[in-house]
Amino acid sequence: MDSETSTAVEQQPAPAPHRVAGRIGFLLLALLAAASGAMGGLLLVYSTDLPQIGELESYRPSSITELYDDQGREIGSFALQRRVLVNYDDIPPLLREAVISVEDKDFERHWGVDVWRVLGAAYRDFRSGGRVQGASTLTMQLSRNLFLSADKNFGRKIQEIMLAMQIERRFTKQQIFTMYANQVFLGHGVYGFEAGAEFYFSKEMKDLNLEEAALLAGLPKGPSVYSPIRSAERAMHRRNTVINAMLEDGKITAEAAAHAKAAPLRLHLQTAPNSIAPYFVEEVRRYLESKYGAEQVHERGLRVYTSLDLDLQKVANRAVLDGLTAYEHRHGWKGNLPNVQSRGLTLATYADPDWDQPIAAGTYVHGVVSAVRPGAAIVRLGRFSGVITAADLAWTKVKDPAALVKAGDLVYVLLLEDPPRRPDSAGQLVHVALEQESGVQGALMAIDNSTGDVKALVGGRDFDETKFDRATQALRQVGSSFKPYVYTAAVDQGAKPDDTILDAPVSFPAPGGLWSPHNYDEKFEGEITLRHALAESRNIPAVKLAAKVGMQSVISYVRKFGITSRMEPYLPVALGAAEVTLQEQVSAYSTFPDDGVRVVPRLIRKVVDYEGHVLEEDYPEVKDVIGVDTARTMTQLLEGVVQHGTAAATGARLKHPLGGKTGTTNEFTDAWFVGFSPSITCGVWVGFDESKSLGTNEAGALAALPIWEDFMRAAIQQHPDEEFPGEHKTQKPVIKAQTQPPRGSAGSVPR
């Protein structure tokens, strides 16, 4: 290039400033348009599958179906998510301020998204190479909890923001906070702050103090990480973080903050009420699900008003377990305890379902032996431990616990005192007695005679071990408790209580030859009254009566009493060689004190949906079975059993109008007592699930009657002045002298 050309180039004028600015502006506009287009495309992509926010207008989250007893006390619940729905005014200001301070300080001011927090979190995640997370407002958390997955990625975050903006446009802040308060997960299957307050503190949300409100407010960040049950240290640190945030926002004073942060964790965990009557609750669940479906039962917050009496149920639970314990003591220590090591566990990792239930003095509970020392064994029972001394195992006839148990053994114990309540008293030892489970089972059912309401139901020793309900599902031979049906048929055909019958050897033709029944004591009493024959459970008179009225007739009466089990018209059936459920026996026996009318057992009185609409209301279903005169005669005959027959000792102790009948099967495989007062009928069965003998002399009066007596002692207290129909206190039925003294004293085992 020559010098002239170079000079010419150098002398060209520079571009005007406004032209440079225009180019830059154009470039920025182009970039903005591109960004807007990209953002629009992203919004289009991520909005394709967004739910309709309008659905929230009618949205109601899953809530608990609750069961109540006959006094309105909760006895059980069903829920996929344990939640109690509340309104905004139900949420105490202290809890609202705690949540807002720690989760979303600008909740009242933003429009669903805190832009600077989101951008800051995104930048930090970009620099660290992590996923987009954090900085979510309460509204964003609500949108995620309601509609989105828990995955932490860019796409979900965009959807979360878009949903939050829509929610803010459609709902007020109060509505948003209420939905959040009902929806938030707080760990251990608990959703919403009201359910959280009940679960962690056994109190309503409105009664929370500062440290309790702060603990709940801190859980949404990490329900499992900050669980006060799993990690008290992390939970306390998180609680104090919430308190500091409230202090920083001026919501509380420095003095209140210092006091709350110094307070220890004071949990009062709410245990599931299903543990009180688990077999009853399970029967109700099966019925409800069959009628309304599992979704309605577990998610739609039904209110189910049942027939159960919570107080009587507690008595029934204890009576059955005490009766089975007495049986175990009679038969001595068996040993052969399972050990945690055989289950692949350790002392530290073993946990028993019993530890999640209410535990108090008088409770039977499983535990694991943690240490054995001279004269004592230490048993871990969850958050506390028990001690077994030599005096607590006297029934085993062994003086040193070390001779019976070793570390790791799984044992069954009875608490002799209340456990410590404070979490910091874990080192305190509770006095417990060593017990045993040999496999023997028991069942009890009690119903109101006039309504058929099931007042108590025990289906076995331990619901956690087996859900099989021996009161409603088990078909067992009933032994002599079948005899009242034979006597009913005879009385209905004209027999009188003071008619006589010959108790003497007799034989009847049978397919395999002659059949010769025997009495329990292998003796014969000669001419006796029907009253005495039933009271003393004489077998030969019962068979003779059955032969006289005909077994076809007897079975037809059995069907009238509501018993549907299959049975053949053979004479041995008259002595109880027929399989019947305890529920059928109890329902049938209630006919006698109810003047011949049987009321079908009912577990449910009323079912109401969440809005208060009555879905069903069950009224007593009445069946006419026998005439009034026959029923009253049979009541008198069965009173004789308790007054001077095989249950005379019980009658003497209870001193109340009572009737009933013992039952024992061959080889002592089943023990029964079914009896009644004027107001309630109760039946008890004891036996093994398999066909196995309870042991010599384990008759109904020894194995089952004491359980019945313990229960009825509480039941009759509700009706101290009752009488059987047709009877008056001033004129009791006259009991004729018998041919020999009553049985049941020492040296003889009644039937």
Which residues are the active-site residues?
Answer: 103, 480
Return d(Cα 484, Cα 634) in angstroms, integer: 8
Q: Residue with structure tokens 């308060």?
A: 181
DSSP secondary structure letters along 267-292: --PPPPGGGTSHHHHHHHHHHHHHHH
Return d(Cα 502, Cα 504) in angstroms, integer: 6
CB 464 within 8 A of CB 537: no
Nearest Cα residue to 287 out of 297, 274, 276:
297
Length of the chain equals: 751
Return d(Cα 628, Cα 220) in angstroms, integer: 65
Return d(Cα 523, Cα 513) in angstroms, integer: 23
Here the tokens at position 603 are 């577990």
Over 547-600, what HEC string results?
HHHCHHHHHHHHHHCCCCCCCCCCHHHHHCCCEECHHHHHHHHCCCCCCCEEEC
Return d(Cα 236, Cα 223) in angstroms, integer: 13
CB 503 within 8 A of CB 540: yes
Cα-to-chain-centroid distance, residue 499: 50
Over 133-151, what HEC string results?
CCCCCHHHHHHHHHHCCCC
Return d(Cα 381, Cα 419) in angstroms, integer: 10
What does DSSP say about strands 65-68 and 303-306: parallel, antiparallel, or unpaired? parallel
Return d(Cα 72, Cα 309) in angstroms, integer: 10
Q: Which helix (H) or strand (E) holds 673?
A: strand 670-676
List the beta bridge partners of residue 410: 368
Return d(Cα 222, Cα 227) in angstroms, integer: 8
Question: CA 365, 191, 211 angle in degrees (round to 5)?
Answer: 80
DSSP 8-state class, residue 728: B
Return d(Cα 104, Cα 114) in angstroms, integer: 9
Return d(Cα 523, Cα 746) in angstroms, integer: 18
The amino acid sitting at 84 is: V
CB 504 within 8 A of CB 526: yes
